[in-house]
Amino acid sequence: MCFVIVISSSGVAYAANTPTFNQTITSGGLSTDILDASRVSVASPSATMSPKGFSFTCLTGGSASTGTLGTDSQRLYVVNPSGANNGWTLTIAATSGATALWSDGGSNTYDFNDAGTAGCSDGADADTKAGQLTIDPSVGTLTADCTSCTTANITKGSTSAFVEGTQNNVTLLNAALASDDVWRGYLTGATLSQTIPAETPGAAYTINMTLTATAL
């Protein structure tokens, strides 16, 4: 008498009288995460911005605070285990929506999506804060990280600034229908540039942003 153990995905065991080898491959959905070079999830994923001294003038253009989204130790991964076969997008937006602000945790804040004078003055949005964040994924590097996949049919987004109400999301990656259905890869080197309004009080400021991988 012999038994074969069949383990279902729910972990329940059944007995059968025919010898069979079974294995379960759990299906997966499209996902995104920040992983390190060993593909381990980073505990506090972030993009650090360059520090700036207090200034009576607006810090914009070459004087703006800059950062990098996706570094070698914080790779911006997308994993598609055949969950998004029609293509997908990777976008970034402020978690608190269009009215989000950079904040020091107290009363000091400035804006990330005010288009007034390239972020140097308060525009026609709902708040009274200036400041604008620009993201340029096009200068980044897209790397495929699986044996059978390539970066073909995946395009990087253009440089884009957040504008309250009209540009709440920035496209980082756009995968076509013909992109690999089973794909894992990462983006590094997308640049960030934040206009700092004049006379912004010195403090450590944070803004929460959410990366969304969407199956199309």
- Told to check if 210 binds other proteins by CB under 8 A, we report yes
For tokens 């008498």, the residue is 1
If binding is defined by CB under 8 A, does position 72 make contact with other proteins? no
| Binder among 132, 160, 191, 195 for other proteins (CB under 8 A) | 160
Residues 182-201 that bind other proteins (CB under 8 A): 192
Q: Does 212 bind other proteins (CB under 8 A)?
A: yes
State the binding string over 84-123 for other proteins (x if CB under 8 A, else -): xxxx-x-x-xxxxxx------x------------------
As measured in angstroms, the least distance from the Cβ of 57 to other proteins is 22
**CA nearest neighbour of 114 among 195, 212, 55:** 195
- Give 60 or 65: the residue with its C-beta nearer to other proteins: 65
For residue 69, give the amino acid letter.
L
**Cα 143 to the chain's mean position, in Å?**
15
Applying CB under 8 A, among 37, 42, 61, 72 the residue interacting with other proteins is: 42
Rounded Cα gap, residues 170 and 157, in angstroms: 8
| Cα separation, 197 vs 108, whole angstroms | 12
Q: Left if phi > 0, otherwise alpha if psi is -120 to 50, otherwise beta: which for 181?
A: alpha
Phi-psi sector, 120: left (phi>0), alpha (psi -120 to 50), beta: alpha
Among 43, 56, 124, 128, contact with other proteins (rule: CB under 8 A): 43
| Shortest spacing between CB 196 and other proteins, in angstroms | 13
